[in-house]
Amino acid sequence: MTMMQRTSAAAQGCTGQGFFTGQEYLESLRDGREVWINGERVEDVTTHPAFRNSARMIARLYDSLHDPAKRDLLTVERPDGGRAHRFFQAPRNWQEQVAARDAVAEWARMTYGWMGRSPDYKGSWIASLAVDEGLYDAYYPNAKRWHDFVCDRLPFLNHAIVHPPVDRHLSNNNDVFVHVEEETDAGLIVSGAKVVATGAALTHHTFVAHFQTVNERKYSPVFMVPTNAPGLKLICRTSFELGAATVGSPFDNPLSSRFDENDSILVLDRVFIPWEDVLMYGEDQANKFVMGTGFLTRALLHGCTRLSVKLGFIAGLFMKAVEITGTKDFRGVQAAVGEVIGARNTIASLADTMARNAVPWYDYVLPDVEAALSYRAIAGDTYSRVRNLVYKTVGSALIYLPSSTQDLLNPQVRPYLDQYVRGSNGIGSEQRVKTLKLLWDAVGSEFASRHELYEINYAGSYEASQIEPLNAAKGMGRAAEYLAMVDACMAEYDINGWTAPDLIAAGDVSVRKKAANG
C-alpha cells in the first residue's frame, strides 16, 4: 500500500468487532511502527525490554473489559447497539457522569494510579465527537465515524497537542511546528513535530491538535494518524523499564519495571493524512478545539480521578513504611501521614464535585469547571508536598537498603541483612526491603522524579494552571461577587468611625458611660 493509498481504520469500518482482548492488543502492536530508543529502531515493542511489561499492563486493562464481574462497572450499552467504555459515552446527567468517573477509577486502581494516559483517557474527547455537528462542519462525518469506531473497538489513542519548546519567541516556526506541506485530492501531507507523546509507542493512533492559538491555515489541521503511518517516527526518552530490566528483578524496581509510559517526540516527515481522518482545518475552526469540544474539563476529571487513586496508593505505602521503621505512633509522623491522606481526600472530593455538579452541554453534561480548574491549580504542588513529606518522615530508611535482590539471595550477606536491616514488630529484612524499595521507586527514583514533573505539568504550564481559576472567576461573575463582599465590608466604616447605624463607635463617650452604668 503506497502512501497515497492508505485508508483510515475508521473509514474501513470495524463496527461489530468489539473491544480488543489483551492478546489482540499485543498482537496489534506488531505493525511495523517506527520507534527509536538509544539510537536503535525497535523491532517489536511487545518484546523489547523498554516496553514489554508496560504493554502487558495495558493488556490487563483490555482483558478486564471482558470480565463479566466488571462488565457493568466499566462498560455501558450504546444507544445504537453494542457496548462502550463508560468514559467514551457522553453522559446525559450527573448519574451517568459519576458512573463514568467510577469506570476511570477502576482502571486506575488496576495500575495503582501510575498510568495516566491509559486507553480510557481519550474518552475525554472522543465522547464529544458526535455531539456538535456545527463545530466540525464539513468534517463532521469524519468525527462521527471516528466516534463510532473508537467506541466499538476501543483502540489505544495517543494525543499530541503541544508545539516543541523551540524558538518560543516566534509565533510560527516553519521547520518545527506540524504544518501542511501539500494538499492533494486524497488528503494532506504534513510535517513537523509534537510533544509530549506520552505512551505513544504502545498506542494505535495519535490525535494531533493544538492547545495554542493557530494563526495560519497550514498550521491548523486537527487529525488522526496511525502509529505505523509511513513517515511517522517516535524518538523516545530514556526508558526506566529498560533500566529496571538490567537489575534483573522487579523486587528492586516494582513500579518503573512495568508502568513506564515512555514519553516521546512525535515526528511527522511528509506523512499522508487521508481527508477522512481530518477533523478540523482552518484557523477559525482549529482555535475552537480546546473549549468547543468539551475536552478540557473531561480530561481534568480523568486526571483528578486517577491522581486520587495514586495518592491513596502512596498513603498506604507511607503507612507501611512508618510501621516497619517503628515510628508510626510518633505524633509528628502521624501528622505527616494524616496530611497525605488529607491531600488524597481533597483531590478525590474535587473529582466527586466535578462529576456531580454537572454542567449542561447540548443534550449532555460536562464536569464542573470550577472544581476542574481548582484541581488543575493545586495538583502539582500537592504532589510535590506529598513527596517531600515522605522524604522528611521516612528519611534515611529510603536509602538504608541493600543494592539489589542479589544481596538477599546471597547466603553470605543475608544473615547480616536479617540482623541489621530488619523491620520493627517482628517484620523481617525481606519485607522491610521490599516495602522500602517500592516506596523509593514511588518517590525517590528517576521514575519518581518524572512523575512529579508529569503531575506539575499534567494539564499545561504551571503558570497557566494558576491563571485559569482567575479567568474563570471573572467570566462566571465570581470575581465580582468577591469584590462586592469586600466593598460591602469597607462601606461600614471610614476615617471618622462606623458608618453602619447599628454599630457603636469606640470614641462615643456617652455610649461608653451608658454601657458602664448598665
How confident is the model at residue 247, as a pLDDT?
81
The contacts of residue 91 (CB under 8 Å, 6+ apart) are 97, 99, 100, 127, 358, 364, 365
Quote the strand ranges of 397-504, DSSP E.
493-494, 497-498
**Average pLDDT value for residue range 233-241:** 97
C-alpha separations of 208 from 6, 191, 267, 269, 381 in Å? 18, 12, 11, 14, 29
Name the average pLDDT for the chain. Answer: 94
Convert 25-62 to b/e letters by CB count within 10 Å (16 or more is b): bbeebeeebbbbbeeeebebbbebebbbbbbebbbebb
Beta bridge partner(s), residue 206: 158, 225
**Average pLDDT value for residue range 225-230:** 98
How confident is the model at residue 1, as a pLDDT?
42
Rounded-to-integer distance, Cα 223 and Cα 135, Å: 14
Helix boundaries (H) for 213-360 = 240-247, 283-286, 289-292, 295-324, 331-356
Tell me: pLDDT of 14 over 80: no
For residue range 296-337, list pLDDT tens digits in order.
Answer: 999 999 999 999 999 999 999 999 999 999 999 999 999 999
How confident is the model at residue 211, as a pLDDT?
84
At residue 18, φ and ψ (nearest 5 deg) are 80, 180
SS3 180: strand
Biggest alpha carbon distance in the chain? 102
Q: Are 195 and 242 in contact (CB under 8 A)?
A: no
148 membership: H or E segment, kind and range: helix 140-153
Closest CA to 337 of 281, 295, 386: 386
Helix boundaries (H) for 34-70 = 52-64
For residue range 53-89, list pLDDT tens digits in order.
Answer: 999 999 999 999 999 999 999 999 998 889 999 999 9
Quote the strand ranges of 433-478, DSSP E.
none
* pTM beyond 0.75, yes or no: yes
Tell me: pLDDT of 4 over 60: no
SS3 182: strand
How confident is the model at residue 212, as a pLDDT?
83
Rounded-to-integer distance, Cα 463 and Cα 420, Å: 47
In total, the chain counts a number of residues equal to 518
C-alpha separations of 155 from 19, 46, 210 in Å? 8, 16, 22
Quote the strand ranges of 101-186, DSSP E.
157-160, 179-183
C-alpha separations of 393 from 5, 74, 300, 449, 518 in Å? 60, 38, 30, 18, 57
Quote the strand ranges of 178-298, DSSP E.
179-183, 187-194, 205-208, 222-226, 232-236, 264-274, 278-280
For residue range 244-295, list pLDDT tens digits in order.
Answer: 998 878 999 999 999 999 999 999 999 999 999 999 999 999 999 988 999 9
At residue 169, φ and ψ (nearest 5 deg) are -75, -10
Q: Are 210 and 223 in contact (CB under 8 A)?
A: no
Beta bridge partner(s), residue 232: 268
Q: Are 76 and 83 in contact (CB under 8 A)?
A: yes
Angle at 515 between CA 500 and CA 511, to 5 degrees: 45
Rounded-to-integer distance, Cα 508 and Cα 505, Å: 6
Rounded-to-integer distance, Cα 72 and Cα 103, Å: 9
Residue 46 has which C-alpha cell? 511487545
